[in-house]
Amino acid sequence: MEAWKQHIAADSRHKLLFVSYEMEGMSFVDMGTELSAAIEFSLQNRRLPMIAEEALEKIIDQHTVHDPDIGDYIVIRNIGILFEPALHINLHAKIDSWSKSRVLIIHHEGVVHNQVFFLTTSREAKYSLNLKDITHKTL
């Protein structure tokens, strides 16, 4: 069993792992590339947030993998686009939902400090996600 699997608690409400390294044998979904490609022709559309929401859910569903030991999981990276104000993504709700229904592994370049995920090491509030009510681990 891969080392990261031991960090998944089957009875946990959320199954969220933040990793700061590329895991061998895992294919990461580049959210920036995938989502921007899905919405590139809709940037001027007033329904952009709805289009982005639908595209995001489709990306998550398409890239979710099943493992016999831990169940469904997805590994994502380059998540900065999810903080884009024009898309109006409720990232807290998304992370909460995704990590309840599957193991969610996020490769991050930022930091988790006092149960807040910061996309950048500069700890800017606009690029942060409060994790106080979302069970998570950092590897």
The pLDDT value given to residue 23: 72
The pLDDT value given to residue 52: 97
Q: Are 117 and 110 in contact (CB under 8 A)?
A: yes
How much of the chain is helix, strand and coil, in % rounded to 5? 40, 25, 35
Arithmetic mean of pLDDT over the chain? 90
CB hemisphere CA count around 52 (13 angstroms): 26
The residue that leads in pLDDT, 96 or 138, is 96
Q: Counting beta carbons within 10 angstroms of the beta carbon of residue 137, is it exposed (0 to 12), middle (13 to 18) or buried (19 or more)?
A: middle
**Calculated CA dihedral for residues 116, 118, 124, 130, nearest 10 degrees:** -30
pTM of the model: 0.90
Q: Are 76 and 19 in contact (CB under 8 A)?
A: no
Per-residue pLDDT tens over the stretch 88-104: 999 999 999 999 999 99
Q: At what angle do helices 31-39 and 48-63 cross, to 10 degrees?
A: 130
Per-residue pLDDT tens over the stretch 13-40: 899 999 887 777 778 999 999 999 999 9
β-pairing, 29-30 with 136-138? unpaired
Q: How far apart are CA 2 and CA 104, in angstroms?
A: 15
